[in-house]
Amino acid sequence: MQAGARTVWRVPALREGKRMKKIKKAILPWLYSVPAYALIGVIVLFPILYTGYISLTNMNLYHWQDYRFVGIENYVRALGKIDSGFLSAVGTTIIWTAVNMLLDVTLAYVMAVGLNVEGLRAKRIYKTLLIFPWAMPAYVSILVWRVGMFNTEFGLLNKLLVAMGGTKTDFLSKNVSAFLSCMTLNLWMSLPYMIIMIDGALQSIDRSMYESAELEGANAWQKNLYITIPSLKKIMAPVVVMTTFTTFKQFDIVYLLTMQKGSVSGSTMQTIITYAHQNAFVSNNYGLSSAVSIVIFAIIIVFSAWTNRGTTEA
């Protein structure tokens, strides 16, 4: 600080150059990021604004060009009328997210703690094998499950059923069984990630805590409850929040299993995202679909503001 001040005082001629430098410094960050802004502006920001605009019009298949402004009619229809199907999709999505997250975290916790039991020599092998479902491309996994597991002719599940004396069942044709099928697949796909993350977090817990707990006579249950879980909470929070968002936004599983174009399975299960997609690309209610999209965006913003409170970017 002192050295800097002295330099300026001693060499006044440098001031002009310094101002130039200052201007350059003000422009430079923008210069660096203009291409990114342009790209994001056209591809991400503008379509969102445009979606907001469409949500206020009656644009649909018949009004492709000559649509008109209808105000908040689409929002009223989505949120106010039970038979629009949006509210039940919201319900399904909430149940879907809650059940999946509960099972995901609980099962992953049990498996990760089990992996860290002393003396389990094959831990690395198990971990490597467990990673496979995570490493597979998601859409391949879903299609593989559709063809290889749930399919009535080829599906392994039906083969097992028939072998055990049951009858062939189309798991994806009824709402409840479709929900459970989607959930099974979602857990199959998301558990490996959660297990690896919890396993990583477990390594950061101070071993000496367990030792002193053992000296005090704590049993395994108490060690889990009072040492492991509280220590994991903080480290795992971002991962859990992130996974919750992914689960909430899950589209591919429901779409590819039950509502592919030309091979709708028969179940009417809808999450909010599939609902928005269906209204845009199947029933061509662009206005309604856009209104729903904006509502979903609002939900996501509120939810992320709520989970982010307290954490600020340095």
Partner 1 sequence: MGKTMNKKIKLAVLNLFYVCVCLLGLVPILYILLLSVSGGSGALTTGNTVFPERFTVENYRRILVEEPFLRWLFNSAALSVGTMVIAMGTSVTASYAFSRFRFRGRNAAMQLLLLLNAFPQILSMFAIFRLFRLLNLLDSHGGLIFIYAGSMCIFGIWNMKGYFDSIPIEIEEASKIDGAGNLQLIVKIILPLARPAIIVTAVMILIFVWNEYLFATTFMMREESYTLAGGLYQLQANDYSRSWPLFSAAAMLVSIPILIVFFCVQKYMVSGLTAGGVKQ
Residue closer to partner 1, measured from CB, 87 or 235: 235
Q: Which two tokens stand for residue 77?
A: 């229809």
**In the complex, what is the shortest distance from the CB of residue 131 to partner 1, in angstroms, rounded to a whole number?**
7
Closest Cα to residue 208, out of 236, 235, 231, 237? 231
CA atoms of 91 and 265, how far apart (whole Å): 21
CA atoms of 80 and 87, how far apart (whole Å): 9
Per the CB < 8 A criterion, the answer to whether 101 and 240 are in contact is yes
Per the CB < 8 A criterion, the answer to whether 91 and 103 are in contact is no
**In the complex, what is the shortest distance from the CB of residue 98 to partner 1, in angstroms, rounded to a whole number?**
19
**In the complex, what is the shortest distance from the CB of residue 313 to partner 1, in angstroms, rounded to a whole number?**
7
Quote the distance between the C-alpha of residue 190 and its chain's center.
Answer: 10
Closest Cα to residue 256, out of 130, 141, 128? 141
**In the complex, what is the shortest distance from the CB of residue 119 to partner 1, in angstroms, rounded to a whole number?**
5
The end-to-end CA distance of the chain, in Å, is 24
Q: Which two tokens stand for residue 128?
A: 């490597």
Residue closer to partner 1, measured from CB, 46 or 226: 46
**In the complex, what is the shortest distance from the CB of residue 118 to partner 1, in angstroms, rounded to a whole number?**
9
Amino acid 41 reads G
